[in-house]
Amino acid sequence: MAAGLRLGASLVAAVLAAAAWAGPVPAAASPATVDEAQAELDQCEQELKDLESQYDEARTRLEAARHEAEATAAAISDQAALIDSLQARVAQLALQDWQSQGLRSTAVLFFGGDTETILGQLAAAQRLTESTDDLVQRYLLEQADLQDKQKRAGAVAAQIEIDQASLAELKAAANAKVKAAQKALDRLRAVDTRAAGVRAQQAAAVSLAGFPTTDRVVGADTGLRLHVIQVRQIVAALFPAIKTVGGYRAGDWGEHGRGLALDVMIPGWSGDGAALGSEIAAWFQDNAGPLGVDYIIWQQRFWQVGMSGWQLMGDRGSPTQNHMDHVHISFKAGV
């Protein structure tokens, strides 16, 4: 229950942080220069990334609250089974006590008996009664515990409902932020295309100096940052076995929708081709700085600049979703 109660405060803070983006996004003045447009886009992308991080954290905490509620429900079920067992035992002992009392009274009345035998029978009856009373008291304690668990389970369930409503608001805010980022991207592409190309080529000439390149077509340029296009052609030059490299994907929330990601498709990935995928992933790790790499996903593992090793990811249900058939590379904005 503690996880569920803590979740509410965190979500409220996250939703308040996102509230400024939940409403209509006002139209911004067109940037006067390419540098201004790039700075505006980078800021928008960073704010979106922060908001998505808040959303992911809130979703994780909500899942924890749900698991806690499920565990409480299981405990209630176990407790109910124990109470049913105690009730049956109490009824059985009560019947035995009543029957033994009747038999003793009949025996003494009709057959008599020595004092020691009668006292022994009475003592046995007393012990049986005390045992019955102990079970009844235990039953009452268990019943009170069950009621307390039910109240706590109800509180967790109520908190989850509140959290779900907050998550809905947070998701709506994230959607609005994505639209704002896309508008900023569109404005950037509309401002002085030729000047932007010259600037990007000059920057790339410095950061990508020494890498081979090729004109071999392995993917479409549409929607990709020029720097990302150049990295893709370096991959095509260094790894001739690569025939297809995915890039821009319209409507995508992540780097694909912002022209900042590549999917290097690995031929024969389920067999000998896996070694090629690992080689490409290692090459991007070794050259992350000059290539402007942010993070890599390959074979259901995640690596980001600054990490000491790979981190295993959860199963997403298919080879493509688990990045078994392609190496995903996301690049930093503003490179």
CATH number, span 2-190: 1.10.287
H-type alpha helices, the chain: 2-22, 34-111, 115-190, 193-207, 226-238, 273-286, 288-291
Residue 200 DSSP code: H
Instruction: Check pLDDT > 60 for residue 67.
Output: yes
List phi, psi (to 5°) of 216.
Answer: -60, 130
Q: Domain residue spans in the chain?
A: 2-190, 193-331
Measured CA to CA, the distance from residue 248 to residue 259 in angstroms comes to: 5
Instruction: Tell me if 79 sits within 8 A of 142, measured CB to CB.
Output: yes
Question: What is the SS3 assignment for 293?
Answer: strand
Residue 330, beta-bridge partner list: 261, 295
Whether the predicted model's global pTM rises above the 0.85 cut: no
Lowest mean pLDDT among 30-39, 66-75, 256-265: 30-39
Cβ-count burial 56-95 (b if 16+ within 10 Å, e if not): eebeebbeebbebbeebeeebeebeeebeebeebbeebee
pLDDT digits over 213-244, tens only?
A: 999 999 999 999 999 999 999 999 999 999 99
H or E stretch covering 211: none
Query: How does residue 35 score in pLDDT terms, banded at 50, 70 and 90?
Result: low
Question: How many Cα atoms within 13 Å fall on the side-chain side of residue 80?
Answer: 9
- Per-residue pLDDT reduced to its tens digit, 132-179: 667 667 766 776 777 777 677 677 767 777 776 776 787 677 677 667
* Confidence band, pLDDT 50/70/90 cuts, at residue 184: low
Cβ atoms 276, 266 nearer than 8 A: yes
Answer yes or no: is pLDDT of 87 > 80: no
